[in-house]
Amino acid sequence: MSKKIFNFGHKTYVMGILNVTPDSFSNGSKFFSFEKAVAHAIKMEKDGADIIDIGGESTRPGAESLSKNEELKRIIPVIEELVDKISIPISIDTNKADVAMKALDLGASMINDITALQGDKKLVNIVAKYDIPICLMHMKGNPRNMQQNPVYDDVVSEIMSFLKERAEYAIFNDIKKENIIIDPGLGFGKRTGRGIEDNCEILNRLAEFKNLGFPILIGPSRKTFIGNVCGINQQLSVTDRLEGSLAAACVAVMNGADIVRVHDVRETRRCVDLVDCIIR
């Protein structure tokens, strides 16, 4: 199934973010209603998205965990409606095995797990059984505490070591190597402000992650570090971070990213198409 979704190396894939949550950091409850969520996914496909990533649980800094039943209640109706209305694959942003299995049975094609298979021990078996791509992301701590004084000696080498170990764990548990995608987790337990910008260092050194031998997904869109770096006298608001998000996406692609996960699909599609023409 993964080969039907991606042919890495030939183009950059744009993953459109669909947060079906009442408290997303980027758009609040803008797409919390069923009708708005479905309409937005259809629009993102028209705008050039290659895949839609649906999430029912907020992972913003300080967010509390969500029950399995509530997560299913939020995302399942949207998936059921979209499988016949869009032609691009659906990814599910979850770390719960039962949620993943239900979504895959309905037609989802990929799992995006911010816990890198550490959240629900049963998820690794689901991914192996369904033979679908999974993105393993680095996060220091969990959404509730990840931005509470994270510390690194060498942020890139430490993240690489973590992702290498999680990929080896996945392969040991029968997930095919070609189904593994890695994500260094911009904004998830990374230092920003006060002169330390882990996220910028990760983007600058992103090519080093290629040494692990896996495709790279990167998600800079509207993150706090963009507000910190691009704001002149004060942090830019979430809605005022488009230009910085596009710049980060372009740098990421030039340094080896295969998938960019974004809110602003049309603008990002145009940017990465040009970068692809230059570098590929």
Residue 36 a catalytic site member: no
- Of the residues 191, 223, 241, 269, only one is catalytic, namely 223
* Strands of the sheet with 217-218, listed across from one edge: 180-183, 134-137, 110-113, 90-93, 51-55, 13-19, 259-262, 217-218
- Of the residues 166, 191, 261, 269, only one is catalytic, namely 261
Residue 261 a catalytic site member: yes
Active-site positions read: 223, 261
